[in-house]
Amino acid sequence: RHRLSSNEKLLLASMFHSLFAIGSQLSPEVGSSGIEMLETDTFKLHCFQTLTGIKFVVLADPRQAGIDSLLRKIYEIYSDFALKNPFYSLEMPIRCELFDQNLKLALEAAEKAGPFGPGS
């Protein structure tokens, strides 16, 4: 699969942000915060929104277990390696090698857990 350019990533993020906002307004559930999971036959889209409004999105195999804990781990990595970096500016692309390395390790661990999680 080809890598997305920065512009393509921004376009997809802004489209998801709009869908997220529409979802929170159209939800029959009072106080809905928006899309948490979107399920199709071929993938699941999981979204974790922090208290500050930052959204982390993961596309996964529909059978993959542990995505909620992966999203929380990604938030932890973001907090540790982006937010504590004095050169990082909010709402800008994250350009930090330690963030990239730890994110890669977290994703590899999630993949090794397999589609049904550990012990399945």
Q: In the chain, where are the structural domains located?
A: 36-113
Instruction: Measure Cα distances from 69 to 5, 10, 15, 19 in Å.
Output: 28, 25, 25, 24
Which residues are within 8 A (CB) of 26 and not within 5 positions of it... i.e. 6 or more apart? Answer: none
Q: Does domain 36-113 have CATH number 3.30.450.70?
A: yes
Please tell me the pTM assigned to this model: 0.80
Predicted confidence (pLDDT) per residue in 13-62, tens digit = 889 888 988 888 888 887 777 888 989 999 999 999 988 888 999 989 99
Contact between 36 and 23 (Cβ < 8 Å): no
CA distance 17 to 96: 24
pLDDT class of 1 with cuts at 50, 70, 90: low
Contact between 43 and 60 (Cβ < 8 Å): yes
Predicted confidence (pLDDT) per residue in 74-105, tens digit = 999 999 999 998 888 888 888 889 999 999 99
